[in-house]
Amino acid sequence: MSAKTHKKRVVIKVGTNVMTNRDNRIVQPILKKLVEQIAVLYERDIMAVLVSSGSAIAGKEVMGKLQVPIEDKATRRQVFSAVGQPRMMRHYYSIFHDYGMRCAQVLATKRDFAPGKHRENMINCYEALLEQGIIPIANEDDAVSLSMSMFTDNDELASLVAELINADMLILLTDTDGVFNGHPDDEDSDLIKHLKADQSVKEFIQESNKGEGEGRGGMESKLGVAQKAAKKDIPTFIANGKWDNVIVDIVDGKEVGTRVTKS
Ligand SMILES: Nc1ncnc2c1ncn2[C@@H]1O[C@H](COP(=O)(O)OP(=O)(O)O)[C@@H](O)[C@H]1O
Ligand SMILES: N[C@@H](CCC(=O)OP(=O)(O)O)C(=O)O
């Protein structure tokens, strides 16, 4: 593996619900805020990899009511994502360009992380992009991934990328302020500021009622991913992606969201 060319590396994952409004439409100013923070880090010689969900919901936004119904759920996902992914990249390309930065799209399936040639190929791709000062934007290649090569969700993809590039930190941005000890909408619930990698978290997981294209996985898998990454010595943060300056605050060591660490 080539030497790190930048001071620090941060993997930032942004969930579908961060970037959409109540009508499930993509909110460009939210994407702008995220990119602005990545630009702030860049000026400090900290390179980010952005793992962005949103292709399915963006595809739904473009297509509206289907001309011909697609009965198969997996095929619907393929069509929505294939249509929505370039729309997401159009947003990002234009915003990064406004900040005088370059970005690139890296789509993957789980097979691309299998030890051997596939993994080496992924490493080469990320290392070369980062070395050039280009921000990789990753997403699952939903148009081609089959159930056996699917990630649980993009949280898993983000953790695999973080491991692959020896990231100093993994930030999972979602639509809650972090992990709560009860339902996040319940007034009596408190934010958990710190979790350990080996701590039992089952009792915190609450029911969620998200619809098609509104995201996958849920808090159970998010916590599983965070604890697994923390065990591998990658401090992981779960925080609200709609908050101003959330990424920079986390990198600056401010107490934001839920921090998951090895011990
Ligand atoms: N203990 C908890 N604390 C916070 N959120 C929780 C908790 N249990 C379940 N959730 C749900 O997890 C959701 C975030 O996970 P997920 O839907 O996978 O988000 P994303 O699309 O950002 O990956 C929240 O919207 C919330 O409804
Ligand atoms: N790859 C999918 C997102 C899958 C996913 O994990 O979604 P989310 O739970 O919102 O991060 C897409 O781009 O729509």
* Predicted local distance difference test score (pLDDT) of residue 4: 57
CA angle 118, 119, 120 (to 5 degrees): 95
In short, whether 39's Cβ falls inside 6 Å of ligand 1 is no
| pLDDT of 143 higher than 70 | yes
Kindly state the tokens that stand for 127. Answer: 């290392």
| pLDDT of 230 higher than 50 | yes
Binding site membership for substrate: which residues?
53, 142, 154
Q: pLDDT digit string (tens) for 121-134?
A: 999 999 999 999 99
Ligand nearest to the CA of 80: 2
Ligand 1, residues 55, 151, 174: which to mutate, most atoms within 8 A of Cβ? Answer: 174
> Regarding the domain with residue range 8-261, which homologous superfamily does it belong to in the CATH classification?
Acetylglutamate kinase-like (3.40.1160.10)
Mean of pLDDT values over 178-187: 95
In terms of Cβ atoms closer than 10 Å to its own Cβ (0-12, 13-18, 19+), residue 127 is: middle
Check: complex ipTM more than 0.90: yes
Going from the C-alpha of 186 to that of each of 70, 214, 222, the distances in angstroms are: 38, 22, 20
Q: How confident is the model at residue 13 (pLDDT cuts 50, 70, 90)?
A: very high
Residues 6+ apart with CB under 8 A from 196: 230, 260, 261, 262, 263
* Predicted local distance difference test score (pLDDT) of residue 162: 98
Full-model pTM = 0.96
The minimum-distance atom of ligand 2 relative to the CA of 14 is 11
| pLDDT of 5 higher than 70 | no
In short, whether 210's Cβ falls inside 6 Å of ligand 1 is yes
* Predicted local distance difference test score (pLDDT) of residue 2: 47
* Predicted local distance difference test score (pLDDT) of residue 1: 46
Ligand nearest to the CA of 139: 2
Binding site membership: which residues?
13, 53, 142, 154, 174-175
Query: Which of these, 110, 103, 54, lies nearest to 83 by C-alpha position?
Result: 54
Mean of pLDDT values over 3-14: 84
Ligand 1 centroid, distance to 54 Cα (angstroms): 16
Q: How confident is the model at residue 217 (pLDDT cuts 50, 70, 90)?
A: confident
Residue 81: strand, helix, or coil = helix
In short, whether 193's Cβ falls inside 6 Å of ligand 1 is no
Q: pLDDT digit string (tens) for 18-75?
A: 999 999 999 999 999 999 999 999 999 999 999 999 999 999 999 999 999 999 999 9
The minimum-distance atom of ligand 2 relative to the CA of 17 is 10
